[in-house]
Amino acid sequence: MRHLPLAAAALTLALAACQPASPPPAASPAETAKPVQAAAPAFAFEEASIADLQAKMAAGTLTSHALAQAYLDRIAAIDRAGPAINAVIELNPDAIKEADALDAERKAGKVRGPLHGIPVLLKDNIDATPMANSAGSLALADNRPKADAFLVAKLRAAGAVILGKTNLSEWANFRSTRSTSGWSGRGGQTKNPYALDRNPCGSSAGTGSAIAANLAAAGIGTETDGSIICPSAVAGLVGIKPTVGLVSRSGIIPISVSQDTAGPMARSVADAAALLTAIAAPDPADPAASERKDATPIDYTAHLKADALKGARIGVVRKLTGYQPDTDAAFEAAVAAIKAAGATVVDAEIPTLGQWDNDELQMMLYEFKDGLNRYLASANTPYKTLADLIAYNKAHAAQEMPYFGQELFEQAQAKGPLTEPAYLAARDKVRRLAGPEGIDAALRKQHLDALVAPSMSPAWPTDPINGDHFIGAGYGAAAVARYPSLTVPMGEVHGLPVGIVFMGSAWSEPRLVELGYAFEQATHARKPPRLLPAVKLPPAAK
């Protein structure tokens, strides 16, 4: 659904969200005038968990109104001004009204659950009234959906306050082979709050930076290949990329019907589990929902087990390491922590690794054209086809294509319908290689509970001239297989967060939550960002 980052070196250029390679956006005149500050004002709810906030509201010492206003003030202070992270693309004008209604319900004795009154941010490719859904494109800046996406309706039913929408890599990074993560024509360039000159990764860049910087309690991102895991990892967050079909895709601007999904991005496994519990529900309008044999609701917070690594068998995929020595060192320390927590750790191989890259891209090109045309047909926009958007970008090249073009748009436009043999062969091949013959084979061979690898390298400097400096990641197999993955902070490299990704077979979210939570409790690796202008490197020895 819209994001992706990448997978393998050469092909990755054309593929993904984390993998973009190009320049960021020019700042608006207002943004350029804002001085960069190294520190943010004190914030009363710094690193506050959903459970903490809920307890305060239950005790009567906090209201949803006050909490939502505090986050709105925080956004004004450090997202719009000060360090100007530029993570929030649009605010919900009804946020305080929604908070007031939930406060009234609480006062009347009705509490909907753990998310009652909790402010949440959504990626700007998810339909949520009354805001626009633009995928970061100026062409869709006035696309105001008439109804919420299925998952947004679930969030609101659970009592969440929709605070606003977050910036993203435009079109979830599926417009150009050399795009820049975190840049969109409508939203500009999002910054990484750990070091403002660093990239937030994509395509859920705004959600990652916003939640890391405490601009909301938690957020929703979307992923096709890495777009939840990568921005979560480089922002010191927990991100869950669910099995395709667990969370509805209805009302989300698509990339790939095969791989798209939405998922939670939060500062802890507990918060991510609470969010996933609210949004994981079968949607009759989503064809992937029928693949889940047991649709019984799951409370993922019941799987927060601190001793879950004891007796577990964890496979270490070392072929997904070796691209950055400091990341490798942090990963080896993480593996040692897993072992110390009682797990059996063995080296494991995904036997088909790297064999699906070109086929994945070809499949996505077909699916993007088909899916986007379907979305646009009923959207509140005059642009009804991919061809219309290509023409719009050409007519508004100074605003939409100042740094990179629309090669992927044009390649997708050249594809035929989803009945073509070339598409069907590519789709079936990638699913088989990454799933049954890949992750499943690795898990089965050594009777493993999960596979682990470094989620990503540390964040690279945002570079408008040369583009993204993507060097490696560990999440691609799970994305292509349509299986779940979960990233948890495992340490820092020169003050930049790095994460470890847990991958399992289809519908294994409960087990991954258990393992990720146990690892989190054993390591407590997350550190909040300091909004530094740049990474502080130690002086070289003389």
Q: Per-residue confidence of the chain (542 residues) as pLDDT tens digits?
A: 434 433 333 333 333 333 333 333 333 333 333 434 445 678 999 999 999 999 999 999 999 999 999 999 999 999 999 999 999 999 999 999 999 999 999 999 999 999 999 999 999 999 999 999 999 999 999 999 999 999 999 999 999 999 999 999 999 999 999 989 999 999 999 999 999 999 999 999 999 999 999 999 999 999 999 999 999 999 999 999 999 999 999 999 999 999 999 999 999 999 999 999 999 999 999 999 989 888 899 999 999 999 999 999 999 999 999 999 999 999 999 999 999 999 999 999 999 999 998 999 999 999 999 999 999 999 999 999 999 999 999 999 999 999 999 999 999 999 999 999 999 999 999 999 999 999 999 999 999 999 999 999 999 999 877 878 999 999 999 999 999 999 999 999 999 999 999 999 999 999 999 999 999 999 999 999 999 999 988 888 88
Which active-site residues does the annotation give?
Answer: 123, 203, 227
Q: Where are the beta strands (DSSP E) in 193-250?
A: 218-223, 238-241
Q: Determine the Cα angle at 13 with ends 11 and 17, to 5°.
A: 110
β-pair partners for 91: 164
pLDDT recorded at residue 39 = 55
β-pair partners for 264: 220
φ/ψ (deg, to 5) at 21: -145, 70
How far is Cα 262 from Cα 123, in angstroms, rounded to an integer?
A: 9
pLDDT recorded at residue 465 = 79
pLDDT recorded at residue 464 = 79
H-helix or E-strand spanning residue 337: helix 325-340
CB atoms < 10 A from the CB of 31, how many? 15
Alpha-helical runs (H) found in 75-212: 95-107, 150-157, 170-173, 205-212
Residue 69 structural domain: 46-290+303-523
Asked if residue 153 is part of any domain, the answer here is yes
Task: Check if the beta carbon of residue 242 is closer than 8 Å to that of residue 263.
Answer: yes
Asked if residue 4 is part of any domain, the answer here is no
pTM (2 d.p.) = 0.94
Asked if residue 536 is part of any domain, the answer here is no
| Amino acid, res. 393 | N
Asked if residue 184 is part of any domain, the answer here is yes
pLDDT recorded at residue 6 = 34
Q: Helices (H), strands (E): how many in the chain?
A: 19, 13
Task: Check if the beta carbon of residue 467 is closer than 8 Å to that of residue 180.
Answer: yes
Domain count, the chain: 1
pLDDT recorded at residue 452 = 99
Asked if residue 533 is part of any domain, the answer here is no
Return the structure tokens found at 451: 């596979």
How far is Cα 527 from Cα 517, in angstroms, rounded to an integer?
A: 16
How far is Cα 157 from Cα 128, in angstroms, rounded to an integer?
A: 13
Task: Check if the beta carbon of residue 481 is closer than 8 Å to that of residue 242.
Answer: no
By CB atoms closer than 10 A (0-12, 13-18, 19+), residue 191 is buried
Rama region for 257: left / alpha / beta (φ>0; ψ in -120 to 50; rest):
alpha
Return the structure tokens found at 10: 């050469």
φ/ψ (deg, to 5) at 248: -60, 145
φ/ψ (deg, to 5) at 206: -65, -40
How far is Cα 463 from Cα 181, in angstroms, rounded to an integer?
A: 10
| Amino acid, res. 93 | P
CB atoms < 10 A from the CB of 130, how many? 11
Asked if residue 136 is part of any domain, the answer here is yes
Q: How far is CA 167 from CA 69, 125, 261, in A?
A: 20, 9, 17
β-pair partners for 184: 188
| Amino acid, res. 82 | G
How far is Cα 293 from Cα 53, in angstroms, rounded to an integer?
A: 35
How far is Cα 262 from Cα 283, in angstroms, rounded to an integer?
A: 13
Say how far residue 16 (Cα) sits from the centre of its chain: 13
| DSSP state for residue 205 in the 8-state scheme | H
Asked if residue 328 is part of any domain, the answer here is yes
Asked if residue 472 is part of any domain, the answer here is yes
Q: What is the CATH number for 443?
A: 3.90.1300.10
Q: Are strands 188-189 and 183-184 parallel, antiparallel or unpaired?
A: antiparallel
Q: In 3D, which of 207, 221, 216, 192 has the Cα closest to residue 459?
A: 192
